[in-house]
Every structure is written in C-alpha cells, then in structure tokens.
Chains A and B, each alone.
Chain A
Amino acid sequence: MAMRKIYLDNSATTRVDDEVVGEMLPFFTEQFGNASSTHQWGQQAKQAIEEARNQVARLLNGTPNEITFVSGGTEADNLAIVGIAEAHGDKGRHIITSRIEHPAVLATCAHLEKEGWKVTYLPVYGEGIVRLDDLRKAMTDETVLITIMHSNNELGTLQPIREIGELVREQREAGRRHLYFHTDAVQSIGKVDVDVRELGVDLLSLTAHKFHGPKGIGVLYVRRGVRISPQTYGGHHERDRRAGTESVPLIAGIGKAAELARLHLAERSGHLRNLRDYLEQELFRIIPDITRNGDAERRLPSIANLNFDHVEGEGLQISLDLKGVAVSTGSACSSGSTEPSHVLVAIGLSQDTGHGSLRFSFGKDNTREDVDYVLETLPAIVGKLRSLSPRAVKKSKLEAGA
C-alpha cells in the first residue's frame, strides 16, 4: 500500500486551486500581450488585470484603484514600510511594530533603524497578542507608522487591528495627521473576514499562495489619498507605485483565488475550525504533557501550535514526515543553534520548551481522515522520542516511585 501523504503545512503555502490554474493558462499562450500595449493583445491583458483588481478589491471591501499588484507578501511589506518612511519621514522618524512580525517586516524595520529611524517592538505576552495600552504608550509625535500583523503566522493569533484602527483615527483627529497604519494580513486571507474599511487600515499586505493562488504574486492595498514612495523605478505601471511589466497569468490567478476565497469564506473557515478543534481535542486527550502556544480563542481557525514537553520539535517533524505527514516546527536547528523562533521566544518559551513545538496548519482540502491518521501515528512518535529523553525518563521514574 502506498504511504498516505497528508499536507498540514498550509500556512507555509497551499496547493493552487484547479480553477485558478485554468484561469491563468490562457495568459501564457493565446493572450500573451503586454498590458501597456495599445493594440488588442495589450488591451486583452489590460482587461484581465483590471478584472483581477476588481476581484481583489471586492475581497477586501476596497476600491480597485487602491490595489497594487506586487510579487508577494515580502515585497508588499517592504513597499508599505519603506514607501511610507520615505514619503513621510520629514514628519517624524518613529515606527511601532510588534516582536512577532514576519521577517519581511522585522528586517525592513531593522534596515530603517540603520538609517536612523527609531523602532518600538511591542511585547505580546503569553497570549501572543499586542496590548492597546502598550501601543498607546509607545505613540509619540514622531510616530509616522504603526505596522502590526493581522494574524501571526506561527501561532495564528489575531491582533486587535480594528481597535488599533480606531485608535489611529482618534489620534489623527487629535492632530497627529501624519500617522499611518499598515497590517500584514498574509495569513488571514481566506480564513477570516478581512475588510479594510472596518479595520481602518491605510495599508495591507497579502499574497496569493496562502489562499490557493500561485506563488510570486501579492497585493499591497493602499487607501485612497495615502502617498507612498515607489521602491522600483521604471514605467508608469500600477499607478506609478510599482514599475515593471505586469505578470498577467499570475494576476489572473490571484484574482480568481480572491474571488473563490470571498465566495467560500464561511464554509472554508468552518471546515478549518472543525478539523483544527478535532485535532487539538483528541491530542490533548491521548497524549500527556501538551500545551497550546498562544491564545486559545483569538486566533485563526486554521492553525494549531502545540508544545510537546521533553521532546525536540525537529525530531517530531521529521518523524511525521517519514510517515507522510507535513507539518512545521518553531525550532529548526539550522545554524548550529536551536533557539526557538522569535515568535515562541516572544510568548516566553525557553530554549528547552521551544524545542517541542509543532504547527499544524489546515487547508480547505484536508479531511477528517487526515486528522485521524495523525491521531494514529503521532502518539507512538511522541512516545518513542520521550523514551529517549533523559528528562522524560527521569520524570516517569519519579511518577512510578510516587
């Protein structure tokens, strides 16, 4: 019998939907025009791009001219942060972000620090969520940008974006007119409702491959009236925000994926939650000494991030891979040092406990049988690795003696 293959790493990337692939294919061959050309080939391409822009705008409840196509989440974050910094740096040079942002945000902020910017990294406590009080205290007249992710990629924890949006609005009304608010919503799209008007954000990043679209295409939403400095120089593409010939197939792909994400949001979200809750509930029942990382309620329906005492994350992850199950760990020892990820450190995990963390992330194509297979295989793997662990062996001896 062929080994089962179960993909539970949908926060890393997702399978492209067949319907999305079908939407993209004609733009490689028959309709290969350059959208800047004024002939019919070009106009066909242009039309496809504008249709996709509409689809993404509808998903976010924005307007089409607020949608800028970029290469993905990383570029969107870079363009948002540096774009605001360069355009409004004369008003102040302070940015507020959190300790659990994606490297695309953290590394961009670190770059600006070298250029003389001040950056405040808000704590997230055990629950993995920033607190409004901390944000309020961090704000100064120098603050021009707040960039806080919509949900965290490792824990799935949802940040209080709507509340921050309100706070930003109040601050602007009180005179801080040059304050802008960006959110990286890369993990949230297709899992929870993301409405730019309701959230009150000025800029928002997303990428197609996290919601069954292709890799290499993303969007930066920029609210009407917000000025950013472009980071690429060239032609007048994307309303002068992002020079470079548009990838029509990829843009058609993100448009279709956005439409499907919008149409199926409630159903997919419920499906993900059912599978995730089933996995957690059963694992807590059958494997002792597991804890959840991050807040239990305020999080995406798609992610379970669990900590297994006395075992090391990579051993768990590779052992599951050998059984055909793909998950990820917050503690890959890549550089010879097994520091837990910056996210796990931010919620207070020590080096030792951080080692045993696994992230299961569900997608629309996962089934209850997939979870059953994990429930069948994981207890033996944990048991085997714990039988190797000096700490676990000592603990079970103590318990046996007691």
Chain B
Amino acid sequence: MYSAKVLEHLENPRNVGEIENASAIGKSTNPVCGDMLQLYLRLRDGRIESAGFLVQGCPPSIAAGSVLTELVTGMSVEDAGRMAPRDITTALESLPRNKEHCSVLAIDALRDALKLTP
C-alpha cells in the first residue's frame, strides 16, 4: 500500500520536534482530513541550517514532514521557495493517489515558514 520509503520514514522519522531559537515557523492544516503540520527552520546567511517538524496525521503526512526536513536542510532559502509537492512525492518514491494531499501539506508549511504566498 505504501512505498518502502514512506514506511521507513514512519519507523524512523527525521528531525522530530521544535527547534530552539527557530528563525521561521510554518504551519499548515489539511481542511479535508484535519492533518496538521508544524515546521521549524533555523536560517543563516540565506540558507536553511536546520529543520524540525511536528505532525498530527497519517503515515504519509508523517513521512512527508520527515522527508521535507531532510530535503531542505542545507538548501538556500531561494531554492526552498521553489519546491513543489511533486518533490516530496518523488523523494518518497510514491504516494497513493488519495494521499497525494499529504505532499501539499508539507509544502504549504514550508511556504508559510518562508512567508511565501501559498
């Protein structure tokens, strides 16, 4: 049902939790299923130095948050601003069709943190 990558992130989620002295915080909610994601970023010299997340949601939402923090760590803020839900889905190998909105949840939190219009 879920890709090996999704299951792996469920078993070992990366960068769990809030970050002390976060320079940016983003929140997103999926109005359909109620899933909620909070993203914490520490920025330095235009780059994302570290990222952390909390999530209330199903396995794909957990995996999406986890893989997002992995992807954006070390990335320039500019590049991070160009990320799209598809990047999350690709990094997770695949998401079931009815769970694709979980990748949107992750990107919405990122855009909220970077104060970009969704």
Question: Chain A residues in contact with chain B, CB under 8 A?
Answer: 310, 312, 314-315, 318-319, 322, 333-338, 351-352, 384-385, 387-391, 393
Q: When chains A and B are docked, how far (Å) is the Cα of A393 from the Cα of B38?
A: 12
- What does DSSP make chain A's interface, helix, strand, loop or mixed? helix
Q: When chains A and B are docked, how far (Å) is the Cα of A398 from the Cα of B46?
A: 34
Which of A312, A335, A351 has a CB less than 8 Å from the CB of B98?
Answer: A335
Which of A318, A334, A338 has a CB less than 8 Å from the CB of B2?
Answer: A318
Which B residues touch A384, using CB under 8 A? 13
Flag if B33 contacts A315 (CB, 8 Å): no
Which B residues touch A393, using CB under 8 A? 17-18, 54
Q: How many residues of chain B get a CB closer than 8 Å to chain A's CBs?
A: 26
Which of A310, A338, A389 has a CB less than 8 Å from the CB of B34?
Answer: A338
Flag if A390 contacts B10 (CB, 8 Å): no
Which A residues touch B101, using CB under 8 A? 336
* B62 within 8 Å of A (CB atoms): yes
Which B residues touch A388, using CB under 8 A? 13, 16, 53-56, 62, 65
Flag if A314 contacts B59 (CB, 8 Å): yes
In the complex, how many angstroms separate the beta carbon of B37 from the nearest chain A beta carbon? Answer: 9
Question: Chain B residues in contact with chain A, CB under 8 A?
Answer: 2, 7, 10-11, 13, 16-18, 32-36, 38, 53-59, 62, 65, 98-99, 101
Which B residues touch A338, using CB under 8 A? 33-35, 58
Residue pairs across A and B with Cβ atoms less than 8 A apart, 11 shown, are: A312-B56, A314-B59, A315-B58, A333-B98, A333-B99, A334-B98, A336-B99, A336-B101, A388-B16, A388-B56, A390-B38
In the complex, how many angstroms separate the beta carbon of A338 from the nearest chain B beta carbon? Answer: 4
Which B residues touch A352, using CB under 8 A? 34
Flag if A336 contacts B34 (CB, 8 Å): no
Which A residues touch B33, using CB under 8 A? 333, 336-338
Q: When chains A and B are docked, how far (Å) is the Cα of A315 from the Cα of B60?
A: 9
Flag if A389 contacts B54 (CB, 8 Å): yes
Known: A333-B33, A384-B13. 5 other contacts (CB 8 A): A312-B57, A312-B58, A318-B59, A322-B10, A389-B54
